Structure 1
Amino acid sequence: MNERKNLFVYIFVFIAAILVFSANIGGLSIYSLDEAKNSECAREMLERGDLIVPTFNYELRTDKPPVHYYFMMIAYKLFGVNEFSARFFSAVFGALTVLITFLFARRYLGEKVAFMTFIVLVSSLHTSVQFHMAVPDPYLIFWINAALFSFFVGFKEKKSIFIYLFYIFMGLGVLTKGPVAIVLPSAIILIYLFLIRNLNLGSIKFLRPIKGFLITLAVSLPWYVAVYIKTDGKWVYDFIFKHNIHRFSAPMEGHGGIFLVTFLFVFLGLLPFSIFIIQALKRVWKDKSKDILLFSLIFAAVYVGFFAISKTKLPNYTVPAYPPLAIILGYYLTQIHLSKLKSILASIVIYILLSIAIVIGLYFGIKNEPAIKDLSYLSLWFIILTVGGIFAFIFALKRNLVLSVLSLSVFSIFMSFIFFYKAFPPVDKRNPVMQMIPLIEKDKPVRYYRNFNPAFVFYLRKHIKPLKKNEISLFLDSSERVYILTRKRYLKDFSGMKNAFVLKIVKDLFENKVSALVSNKK
């Protein structure tokens, strides 16, 4: 009977998570630069039947290793090449991440903490957004957490199979995003062993680091060798030096900032329950004799700390730390007591004020974006978060902390569905790609001049070749309709050409770039 009950619980956790993480994944365009390049890269590899060399717009792409491309290719084969397929396995890996975090917390802290941990993760809008995206991060998040959870179980319970799983998952992490999947887990484990005074020869012998390293290499190295050979070393060189060392040592693509930015990303990303993070950290430090709490604390601290000192800062970098932070918050939420009511109420008030600030910030942010300024009313949807905060405050005043926590969770999850089905779709339809694609006959020649939005390649599904300035006029002289994708700033180079007609100019959403579509016919 217990086994049937456990199975039902596991299925419930997985299905609930995947429902949240897959909300409208097929109804939103592949528009952001990262989604566009990753989705198209997988499509081109599938088209060529090539499992080794990643390309975007049929040119070498050195940004990421191939695991997420493989899963996208599987989805393309199953469901066709579309937005749903590109994001399908991101949602699946998100649900798997929630499930293994639930199982890990349940194993050592009990079912109540496990459910609170589950609630923290599925209530986070940023977690939901991350697992909605056709990028490698959802896969890396799973591998990192699966690896570290496996290490903990294996080391604590002296089960070698979990230690081997740790090395396998690390290898898959290296195949997903590179050396970071070895560096950070290794640092976390060394610090943990040192703090529990177990960094000794016996522990190292049990962990079998030489055999384990060979397992990790066996999983990851063959592809790196193959891509090195096929690209004469260019892929490996660019990936290691440009996308790893340089990204850590210098801001890339304008994503910099002081170290506090990373902590802000984490705090905002784990709302609504991050409002209790100070109390939770204090409680966990007090109860750090419980190994899993100390391990979760070190896991989160190393991950967040590493990217705080990294010169390139993005909100998605620290998401692998969300599961251990959710365990910390979940543990606290099962320990809170009415004697701490003032502290709880103060945190909820902060949340209410933050949610109001989010509404106001979004209103003016949308208002200042020319392409969508008439959609500023959509920001009002986020009042749902404020309402959840108000209900949480009322229930806390009535000393019903369970309903207070549920109010924060239910309204936040509801907001997640509203965001993906109601609030964001009207904005998404205003992006330049969605505005211009209906104007382009896909069987006609399309070129680009100087620069263009990469999402066009995914939707046109063909090589968009570049044009030089002295080639524009000849291309436009064609007897059939042709198209040129470019930016508004380069339209001056088309002046004086009698057969150059600007069909549409649309500002890229939330960026300074303005896309332009030129044709030789009106």
Structure 2
Amino acid sequence: MIGAKTQEAAPHLGCGDEVHKVPRSLRVVGARAFAPLVLLLLCLAVFLPGQMSVPPLDRDEPRFTQATKQMVQSGDYVNIKFLDERRNKKPVGIYWLQAGMTKLTGYGAEAPIWVYRLVSVLGATLAVLFTYWACMAFMSSPAAFTSAAFVALTFILTTESRLAKTDAMLLATVVLAQGALARIWLARTKDTFSRWVYPLVFWMALGAGTLIKGPIILMVSGFTVAGLCLFKREVAWLRHLRPILGLLLLLAIVLPWLVAIYIATDGGFFADSIGRDMLGKVATGQESHGAPPLTHLAASLVLFWPLSAFLLLGFPGIWRERKTDAIVFAASWLVPTWIVFELVSTKLPHYTMPALPAVALAVCFVLIHKLELPKRAGLYWAATLLLALVPVLVAVGSVALPIFVNAWPSPPGVIIAVIGALFGLIAAREMKRRHVFNAFWPAAASSIFMLFGFWAFVGPALEPIWLSPRLVTQIEAATSCEKPQVITVGFNEPSYVFLLNSDITLGNASAAAEFLNDDAGDGCRVATVESKYAVQFEDAARHLGVKLEKAGAVSGLNINGGDQLTIGVYVNGG
């Protein structure tokens, strides 16, 4: 393997007179023979709970899955549509992967939401394993293992692994490209370097990432390349990237679909995806997601937990090691990408996730590979507070959140969350004692318990917010048709469209009355009407002579906007 040889660093004097050593347990599970298997088991433990029990989360996830469903139904694998509207926002890669998963599992277009999510589970798992591989270029196997484990345990990646959209798989392609880039760069002093495998991996990863989420991966790797050239004032190594053939390979991967979608939409895809979506997010906060600079930095304290607590300890060592290859590479990866996302007007929690492995690389290189621990007591107190505060807040939230939405707390979820909080307090106690490495395992256990408790029990028990699945159940009870025709007025969340799995029309009150008036008498037409449109709908039906029958109603909190809604289910009772 090209890069720094894997070796165990010598113990380093840390705080006071105490000698800090990497614990034997971490050296054993982090050894090359065991690390990939342990990381795979960890990914299964943190990514799988709740995949089947948590309904589609509005709005992005069901937009992706509904578009994929329509792609499978129509057999058109070029155009991307949500109902009759073109979805010209992201490239086709994730839709192809999701469509392939529906076919691989045998469900086809009728696949439940968890089938679509398997692509994100795969992407998140690959991202963790690729992080281990990328970090192995710079440091020992136990340090690389800890970096990958930190990535797996963070709230942001575990959340994205449960959302059937682009970001988990994008992260996998980013880390794969960066791992290959690291090895190419580390070979810069070797004139005889002639390997093709790493440039091939690099350019193929760039092509795959571009098909998944457009230019994001090109920005991350491009900034990294520029940073490496500037920090080291070296450009000759760029020839090892095989740039000409690499660009041709990149174009061979992405150009066929780009040409096809340009022809199919008469250029409309690029006008919408680049002009309205991407540039719109840069200039303004789209869909009420605007926020000031440094928002991502503040949010990372929670989203990157528990890594964020250890990052506080790593700052002094990172600065001292700033000229080493590992820190130069991590900084080239992290800093410019992070600055861009802080300056972009639209801010969403997952935006900075492509930089997450760079943070893990820098932290574990300093704390574990170099064994450089800080002396300042304030850093330990800050890390202690962060390790304790987050799991305690999650445990409190497992009770408070259901009460807030008028649901009963889930007893198993609360118990498991409290166990997670106890492990978090144990980790905090070890950190307070400056037993930094002893804090890792209880912090990892705390994250596992918190994630399991929330996704397997607390989340599914928040019944008032799951309006769409409850509404679909009401429709199924109101008619004996296998696939009734439905018109909806007011409530048209993408999760409802996806779960309904039948013909649906988005209309107004008058259109809904006419829709029921045209019922052929087989009782296969249903109207769902939000309460604020009910009077207008009933008046229109009365004017047409339609005898309405209210078959049921669903009430709850719409998490998009925070409004309390009541949606009635109507059929023609005449």
TM-score by length of 2: 0.83
Contact 2:464 2:557 in 1 (8 A): no
5+ long unaligned stretches in structure 2: 1-5, 7-30, 188-192, 477-481
2:201 and 2:432 mapped to 1: Cα distance? Answer: 47
Q: Matched residues in 2 for 1:209 and 1:183: separation? A: 16
Residue from 157, 161, 178 that aligns with 1:148: 178
2:69 is aligned to 43
After superposition, residues 234-383 of structure 1 pair within 5 angstroms as: 234-334=268-368, 335=371, 337=373, 343-360=379-396, 363-369=399-405, 372-375=406-409, 382-383=417-418
Give CA-to-partner distance per residue, 1:132-156, whole Å, 9 cap, x none. 2101111111111211221121222
Partner SS for 2:64? helix
Helix, strand or coil for the counterpart of 2:461? helix
Relative to structure 2, which stretch is displaced further, 421-430 or 27-36?
421-430
Paired position in structure 1 for 2:514: 474
Partner of 1:511: 560
Q: Does 1:484 align with 2:514?
A: no
Summarize the Cα distance change of 1:414–1:374 in structure 2 as closer, same or farther, 3 Å threshold.
Answer: closer
Supply the distance in 2 between the matched residues of 1:386 and 1:137 (Cα, whole angstroms): 28
**Kindly, what percent of the aligned residue pairs are identical?**
21
Distance 1:501 1:331 in 2: 67
Superposed CA RMSD in Å reads 2.6
Aligned to 2:44: 18
Seen in structure 2, the aligned counterparts of structure 1 residues 332 and 366 have a Cα distance that, compared at 3 Å, is: farther
CA distance in 1, matches of 2:374, 2:237: 42
CA distance in 2, matches of 1:501, 1:404: 61
Q: 2:61–2:165: 8 Å Cα contact kept in structure 1?
A: yes
Q: Find the residue that maps to 2:567 and give its secondary structure.
A: strand
Whole-Å separation in 1 of the counterparts to 2:533 and 2:366: 56
| Cα distance, 1:518 vs structure 2 | 3.1
Are the equivalent residues in 1 in contact too, given 2:326–2:362 (CA < 8 A)?
no
* Larger mean Cα displacement after TM superposition, 214-223 or 467-476: 467-476
Task: For residue 79 of structure 2, give the secondary structure of its aligned residue in structure 1.
Answer: coil
Q: CA contact under 8 A between 1:54 and 1:62: conserved in structure 2? A: yes
Aligned partner of 2:246 among 212, 216, 224: 212
* Alpha carbons 1:191, 1:298 under 8 Å: kept: yes
Q: Deviations over 1:285-307 (max 9, x none)?
A: 21123212221122122222111
Aligned to 2:486: 446
> Counterparts of 2:201 and 2:148 in 1: how far apart (Å)?
23
Equivalent position of 2:21 in the other structure: none
Instruction: Give 3-state SS (helix, strand or coil) of 1:263's partner.
Output: helix
**Aligned in 2, Cα 1:376/1:26: closer, same or farther, shift over 3 Å?**
closer
Matches within 5 A, 1:60-75: 60-75=86-101
How far the C-alpha of 1:500 sits from its partner, in A, is 4.2
Q: For residue 102 of structure 2, what is the amino acid of its counterpart?
A: Y
* 1:194 Cα offset (Å): 0.6
Contact preservation (8 Å) 1:34, 1:135: yes
Residue aligning to 1:132: 162
Q: TM-score, normalised by structure 1?
A: 0.91
2:10 counterpart residue number? none
- Contact 2:398–2:454, Cα closer than 8 Å, also in 1: no
Q: Is the 8 A contact 1:279 1:332 kept in 2?
A: no
**How many residues end up aligned between the 2 structures?**
515
**Distance in 2 between residues matched to 1:490 and 1:184, nearest whole Å:** 47
The structural deviation recorded for 1:407 is 1.0
Partner Cα distance (2:201, 2:46) in 1 = 28
Cα distance between partner residues in 2 of 1:364 and 1:14 = 33
Q: Secondary structure at the match of 1:425?
A: coil
How far off is 1:385 after superposition? 4.1
- Name stretches of at least 5 consecutive residues in structure 1 with no aligned partner: none
Partner of 1:194: 230
Larger Rg: 2
Please give the secondary structure, in 1, of the residue aligned with 2:122: helix
**By how many angstroms is 1:359 displaced?**
4.5
Gap change, CA 1:193 and 1:463, over 3 Å in 2: farther
> In the alignment, what sits opposite 1:118?
148
Secondary structure at the aligned position of 1:392 is classed as helix
